[in-house]
């Protein structure tokens, strides 16, 4: 324990005992931890509000991996848009049923829809899956997209990346691949220069 002693100059001095210092530091550290826990309980962190958004992003990432696995099995083709949920469940082993539901969604088996214009061999920045109102095997475009779950919308792009977009960014999403250029070179022909 630290104790004060009078010194020759009349000033108090602190003598230190290493064991006592550890006890004081431990006590201070425990107090800080308890105070921090109290503050966190009284004032929730901003991250708590983002947990459902993050869970939704993880669901889309999981569905994106399932779409990629389906494509590997089916000559680089996505499932039929009108049956995409059923086909993923039937053909991709280990896909959790919970991946189809947003934690903030109220009813329904699925809170995502598929963009039928997405092409696995097309532009990587085209929307593939996106948050929608409840439904099963939903397919369509921006008319189905919703921000009701989080005030933002999570979307999965063809390249497998997941984006969170605000209402003001939705108009900038790409829903169709640009037409692929026609090959100038035919088999056996020499390209013109």
124 is written with which tokens? Answer: 């990587």
Cβ(169)–Cβ(147) below 8 Å: no
Handedness of CA 27, 28, 29, 33 (dihedral sign): positive
Higher pLDDT, 53 or 175: 175
Distance linking the first and last C-alpha atoms of the chain:
88
Q: Which residues of 52-75 are buried (b: 16+ CB within 10 A; e: fewer)?
A: ebeebbebbbbbbebbbbbeeeee
**Across the strands, what pairs with 154?**
164
Quick one: pLDDT band at residue 180, thresholds 50, 70, 90?
A: low
Q: Considering the chain, what percentage of its residues have pLDDT values greater than 90?
A: 50
**Per-residue model confidence (pLDDT) at position 104:** 77
* 35, 88, 119, 151, 171 from 154: Cα distances, Å: 36, 20, 19, 10, 14
82 is written with which tokens? Answer: 């009108």
pLDDT digits (tens, 9 = 90+) for 105-163: 778 899 999 999 999 999 999 999 999 999 999 999 999 999 887 789 999 999 999 99
Task: Parse the chain into domains and list their residue ranges.
Answer: 3-42, 50-172
**Per-residue model confidence (pLDDT) at position 183:** 53
The pTM score is 0.67
């Amino acid at each position: 324990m630290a104790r004060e002693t009078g010194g020759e100059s009349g000033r108090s001095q602190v003598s230190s005992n290493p064991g006592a210092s550890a006890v004081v530091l431990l006590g201070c550290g425990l107090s800080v931890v308890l105070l921090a826990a109290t503050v966190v309980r009284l004032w929730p962190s901003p991250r708590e509000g983002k947990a459902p958004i993050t869970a939704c992003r993880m669901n889309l990432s999981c569905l994106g991996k399932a779409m990629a696995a389906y494509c590997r099995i089916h000559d680089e083709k996505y499932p039929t848009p009108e049956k995409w949920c059923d086909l993923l469940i039937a053909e991709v082993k280990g896909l959790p049923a919970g991946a189809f539901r947003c934690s903030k969604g109220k009813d329904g088996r699925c809170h995502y829809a598929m963009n039928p214009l997405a092409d696995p061999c097309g532009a990587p920045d085209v929307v593939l899956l996106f948050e929608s109102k409840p439904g099963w095997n939903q397919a369509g475009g921006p008319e189905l997209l919703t921000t009701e779950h989080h005030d933002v919308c999570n979307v999965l792009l063809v390249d497998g990346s997941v984006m969170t977009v605000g209402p003001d960014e939705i108009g900038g999403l790409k829903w169709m691949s640009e037409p692929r250029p026609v090959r100038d070179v035919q088999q056996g022909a020499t390209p013109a220069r």
